[in-house]
Structures are given as structure tokens and as C-alpha cells.
Amino acid sequence: KYLPKTLLFQLLGLSIATMSTVTHYGHHFTRISETSLDGNSYRVIHYRAFYFGICLSMTLILAALLSSAATVRESQCLTAMGFFCFALAFCGLIPAAYWRYTHSTEVEDSIMDVYDFVYEEVRRNSSSFRRHELTAIHKAFLCCGKHSPFGDTTDVESKTCPADQVH
């Protein structure tokens, strides 16, 4: 009766761990993290989100295992420890939800800061190192440059965008 529910919590924990790993090592996120400057907050957010997801998944898996063992052994101590792990996971999600609500645009803003910095470096300097980074960002995010109201893009897009996306 209780074992299928704990199996679902184990699968939930594994799915959170998988999601955290995929987003941490995914092509889009690593490209921006490698390019970001030390003063940019994206890298800090990137690592904190990964470690928070891994800790949350391990807490859920531990709670599910303790609940399974408590059901099999009919132990009140194991039941209390499993309940404590679930309460710990819930209490960890409250600050995460609050941070998400109060800092809703921080990740997007920090990614745009990285992109703007690299774009301006290529526009000013035409450095091969930064041009390679900008080309990689364009390929990863399937985007192509910026639109300036002044028309001052100086053919950066023609050098860094994939051929099928050049305007």
C-alpha cells in the first residue's frame, strides 16, 4: 500500500537530479557560464541552482527510502526520520519559491549582460576569441545579433550568425 507512493518519491528525486544535471551541463547554460565575467551573477546562480537541485533530490530519495524501510519494519523512528526529510525538503522549497518570485528577471538580465558584453567586444575589437564566443552563443540560442535603432551593427551579424539566420 505505501511502497508505490515511496517509489513515486524516489522517481521524483531522480527526475529532479536528472533535471538539475541536464540544466547545469546543458549546451545553452554552459555556453553562457563559460563566457560570463567574474562580476556577473549568472555563474553564481548557475552553481547554486545545480547544488540546490541535487540536495533536494537526495533529500527526497532519502525520505522515500526511509519511508519504505519504515513500512517494511513498522518502525516509528524510521517513519519520523522520513517525515523529517520530507519537512526539510518542503522548508527548502519555500525560500527557493520566494527567491524566484522576488528575483524573477535576475537570470535573464545577467544572461543579457553577458551577451551585450561579448557583442560590444566583437563590434569594437573584432577579436577572433570573442567572435568565436559570439558565434557559439548564436548557434546555441538560435539567435542572431541585436537590432539597433541607429543601425550601428557594423556587420557583426554577417560574421557571427549562422548562414540561415542572417537578416
Coil/strand/helix, residue 42: helix
pLDDT at 118: 84
Q: pLDDT for 77-125, tens place per residue?
A: 988 998 898 898 889 889 888 988 888 888 888 888 888 888 888 878 7
Which value, in Å, is the radius of gyration of the alpha carbons in the chain? 22
- pLDDT at residue 153, rounded to an integer: 55
pLDDT of residue 54: 92
Q: What is the pLDDT of residue 66?
A: 87
Low-confidence ranges of the chain (pLDDT < 50): none
Q: How many CB atoms lie within 10 A of CB 139?
A: 16
Distances (CA, A) of 166 to 29, 52, 142, 144, 159: 23, 39, 11, 7, 9
